[in-house]
Amino acid sequence: MAYTLKVYAAMLVVFFAVDMLWLGWVARGFYRKHLGHWLAAEPNWAAAILFYLLFILGILVFVVLPGLEAGALGRTLARGALFGLVAYATYDLTNLATARDWPLVVTVVDLAWGTVLTTLVAAAGFLAGRAFA
């Protein structure tokens, strides 16, 4: 259990660092430009933190731990990419299907970002798992 918590904690640090860099610096203007009318003045931090905690748990359980068991970094990266794509597609394609004036460009960028971010976090989890073993 301690091993799994250490891997989870390492993934949490990487996820927050990379996603905060993305949201706070790289894509901030992009989202404001395309979704300004959708954005709240302040994020709902409780909901955001709950999403992060659950999403990282999903990456750990469905991607990293099976990858570590198999000793397969390549498989871990591929599964991380797919997991990120599916998770971000759930949100963005649902919005594209149901929300009035949801921008297609936001969906495309989010799908790419979710894929890259989840792959990076899966890689970090895999490497942390090997280091903590």
Whole domain around residue 17: which residue ranges?
2-132
The tens digit of pLDDT for each residue in 70-125 reads: 999 999 999 999 999 999 999 999 999 999 999 999 999 999 999 999 999 999 99
DSSP 23-77: IIIISHHHHHHHHTTT--SS--HHHHHHHHHHHHHHHIIIIIHHHHHHT-HHHHH
Domain count, the chain: 1
Q: Which helix (H) or strand (E) holds 107?
A: helix 104-132
- Between 28-35 and 104-132, two packed helices, what is the crossing angle to 10 degrees? 150
Backbone dihedral angles phi then psi of residue 124, each to the nearest 5 degrees: -65, -40
Residue 22, pLDDT score: 86
Residue 103 has what pLDDT? 96
pLDDT of residue 11: 98
pLDDT digits (tens, 9 = 90+) for 1-55: 899 999 999 999 999 999 988 888 878 889 889 998 888 888 899 999 999 999 9
